[in-house]
Amino acid sequence: MIVGQWFRVRLAMALAVGMAVPLQSQAWAEPWPVIASDSVAWTLLADVRALDSTIEVEARYGTPENFTSAPLPGYEANRIYLRREVAEALARVQKRLMSGGMGLKVFDGYRPVRATLAMVEWAKRTDNTALLTGGFVSSKSRHNLGLAVDLTLVDWSVGGREVDMGTPWDSFTDQAHWASATGRTKKYRELLRRVMEEEGFKQYEQEWWHYSYDVVGETPAFDVVVGEEGR
């Protein structure tokens, strides 16, 4: 099965059973009022693997392996950028995990505004407006600020394989709610949450993979292309 089809089937199922309503509801119609210049963006963002090259990255919005079945604009490399403070905190999380034989794999961090707008356009064009009203696709995401990250755990005792978190990333079902897990899956979610919170991240209850981080001062939105590296 084509991966994109698989995402759509899962998405349709989630909508049919009454999808969770994330916090960004109602915000989808209004884009960010201010977007930082590219030069400002490159001074504020950092590549997480430049801080810790042992962090695994799989920037899935730059591939067809996401709910739109196509790479989104603004993703031109398998890289994850975050606000520098956030990337530094994530590197500290990685250090804690690596001492116990575990590590991080990151699916998304900073998300270009153009990618977010393309998600909104896709939802309208394909008649998936429940995604907009339900808050899954929003014109304003903390990812656009480089202050949110989607990730999971890998186990280096088995070659860096992803652990079983109960659902795949971007699975908008009740099972994706952090508190829904049991048994081993619950232990993994608890471990991830504990190490992330120890370094200042906040867990988002409706998505086990989504964490955010607060920084002091201005938090502009960005639209630089992932992979351009300030050229």
Both tokens assigned to 118? 């393309």
Closest contact distance (angstroms) between CB of 148 and Zn ion is: 5
For Zn ion, the nearest residue by Cβ is 210
Choose, by CB under 5 A, the member of 52, 56, 65, 150 that binds Zn ion: 150
H or E, element range at 212: strand 210-212
Q: Report whether 66 contacts 72 (CB < 8 A).
A: yes
Check if 205 is active-site.
no
Please identify, using beta-carbon distances, which residue of 101 and 162 lies nearer to Zn ion: 162
Scan residues 201-230 and list those touching Zn ion (CB under 5 A).
Answer: 210
Counting every residue, how long is the chain? 231
Work out how close the CB of 80 gets to Zn ion at its nearest, in angstroms, rounded to a whole number: 12
Tokens of 192: 């991830």
Shortest Cβ 143–Zn ion spacing (Å): 6
Q: Does 142 bind Zn ion (CB under 5 A)?
A: no
- Span interacting with Zn ion, options 34-42, 85-93, 146-154, 193-201, rule CB under 5 A: 146-154
Q: Which is nearer to Zn ion, 110 or 188 (CB)?
A: 110
Rounded Cα distance between 183 and 187, Å, is 7
Helix axis angle, 84-98 relative to 183-198, nearest 10°?
130
Q: Where are the beta strands (DSSP E) in 55-209?
A: 56-57, 81-83, 102-108, 148-155, 161-162, 202-203
Cα–Cα–Cα angle for 64, 70, 75, rounded to 5 degrees = 85
Nearer to Zn ion by Cβ, of 185 and 212: the residue is: 212
- Catalytic residue IDs: 207
Q: Which residues of the chain form contacts with Zn ion (CB under 5 A)?
A: 150, 210
